[in-house]
Chain A
Amino acid sequence: SQQGEEDPQALSIQEGENATMNCSYKTSINNLQWYRQNSGRGLVHLILIRSNEREKHSGRLRVTLDTSKKSSSLLITASRAADTASYFCATDRNDYKLSFGAGTTVTVRA
């Protein structure tokens, strides 16, 4: 069964706006990761946040993790057309494998 669930399923924003998506999971984790998938391509790793971290930044990306609520959020600031993609959260429960959610599809309008 899928460990993570993203919300919303789809998001449409204007170029320059911020995009926020959330991920909820069910059991304790070792770390949580976010991936991007452009249409017809493989997944690309964006950022990893460990269970003892609360916030992490990478360029225009900001990830938060609240282990008490079993949730994470990914914020993309000043979005660009190139940010149009599907975004997936994935949880590592220290059992050698990642569990992925169904993803959030982000469309950035010019």
Chain B
Amino acid sequence: NAGVTQTPKFRVLKTGQSMTLLCAQDMNHEYMYWYRQDPGMGLRLIHYSVGEGTTAKGEVPDGYNVSRLKKQNFLLGLESAAPSQTSVYFCASSGDRTDYGYTFGSGTRLTVV
């Protein structure tokens, strides 16, 4: 089925470790996004991309880096994980923002201890 796939689904990191979250979409969407969801705070935008090779900062970019080397993939990196980065991370993509909504992945639950 077409959609957005996130890997891994769960991860536990120790403070200071690094990791990369992978998001892949097979809908040929131009726009891709990384959000984090914390209890009572809704979704906050970390970084986004408006096309292959582009990235931009969102609302809460500190401590994260991203890359969009291929149109279908959007990677989110944590260079030195902190307990404050414990969250559920969602990737989303969109083809036409004016007429259609976003397609979300199922999320990555990250715990930093």
Interface residues of A (CB under 8 A from B): 1-2, 30-31, 33, 35, 40-46, 48, 50, 88, 92, 96-103
Task: Compute how far the CA of A77 lies from the CA of B101 in the bound complex, rounded to whole angstroms.
Answer: 22
Contacts A/B (CB < 8 Å), 15 sampled: A2-B42, A2-B44, A30-B98, A33-B102, A41-B107, A43-B102, A45-B100, A45-B103, A45-B104, A46-B101, A50-B98, A96-B31, A96-B97, A98-B33, A100-B42
**B43 neighbours in A (Cβ, 8 Å):** 43, 88, 100
Q: Is the CB of B102 within 8 A of A1?
A: no
Interface residues of B (CB under 8 A from A): 4, 31, 33, 35, 40-45, 48, 50, 56, 58-59, 90, 92, 97-107
Q: Is the CB of A44 within 8 A of B104?
A: yes
Q: How many A-B residue pairs have CB under 8 A?
A: 63
Q: Is the CB of B90 within 8 A of A42?
A: yes
Q: Is the CB of A43 within 8 A of B41?
A: no
Report A105 CB to chain B, min CB distance, Å: 10
**B56 neighbours in A (Cβ, 8 Å):** 96
Report B101 CB to chain A, min CB distance, Å: 3
Report B94 CB to chain A, min CB distance, Å: 8
Q: Is the CB of B41 within 8 A of A102?
A: yes
Q: Is the CB of B100 within 8 A of A88?
A: no
